[in-house]
Structure 1
């Protein structure tokens, strides 16, 4: 089985330390950190704050496999038509690159953002491409790899499927830009794990591994949706994917008892606590 990483997004009604302790209780040794309030909103944190987070990870024997700054809820959009917003978004990710270094994490999630629905798509596309290229140059110098994740059609009108992801990856053309696959946008777009593997090969380095309802962008605990887990496992083997699988659960139904949602997923996945 691929290594499973717990994620803190559905733990946002509890302190960060609770999430870290919960991950240990679940028998996992890897996490993906969502960079949002109240856990890790990067503009609010200095070097000492981040070193304290790193100390908490080390104390518990946890590895940070990816840093994922919040970029869907907050006013962060690398393709924004408003130049002040786009430049602020670039600065936000520059801070995130520095935070990744402080946290000794080599991978940082990015999305291309979105354009207005009543403007030519290519104009927004070019803004997103230019932003990603600028960030990729800076990430490369810092020794950080950007992981480009497509959003679903509910969240963006730019990079939403395999074809648009291939195009953006090709046009940015940077060794510092790799690929992150999320099973929810993948299924909504009608794409497959095999198609991703064929398109990107070793450039595919991280997965958000969720169940879903097949109709909306709901990121569900395993066993609550309709996704074909056995087929997914066979596909991962066929494409030779050896990276981590992050449990990016999203939804208010998980707020009260996030550990149970992660545990239920692990049980459904057949994870055996050591």
Structure 2
């Protein structure tokens, strides 16, 4: 087996999830020398025994004009002990990106945090979601070690939300595509050396007031688990994940407009039903004045 590829594999576990420092790539290439092969094989084995990264993403809708994007990130001790400085730098970059999107970060521990990013409409959710998860793709990459750079996996993440207003209700169609095929861990001879699902625990959830209907149109569609009004998808590393749902939300604007119309109509009804007509009330007085 080409042990330099083992270094790239460990690098793959971190790079797609946040664009960690480029220096990690040079360190891994330096570490994986023939003299230290046995030692790092033991380290690699320990990493594969249990999940190293738990990444949960949730979209919570209160109504059509209010919601929040919530992310829960927890790193395993194996990963932090292997490259703690770089992993913590990645968590710091997540905090910075969150604040740029007017979000909040709650740091539960050094290895665990919860990110909350509010949105006021569907278009804002789409923009903030794609900006957050694709921001590392726009970072400048150093020119050194270009061969290793070209072999780094690319992750495509794209969320679309289409909304149709029906006065009191808003119909929403959410489509999310996450391409994780580049995370398949393949050895030099094409033999799978590890299941990426044992290392990465990725989940996507959707919470709406009235629930949602999953649409399974393609063979890549992921079947969700239903928990009350929440749908939960367990994303599969090494595969193309497609999510498509339809759900309805109350429209505060439409409901407010209806209440105003009902209030005006009720006022007019009370005025002309239980009070004398002003035309009848003032007509005799004007007649007497003329005579």
TM-score, structure 2 normalization: 0.24
TM-score, structure 1 normalization: 0.24
Q: Rg bigger for which structure?
A: 2
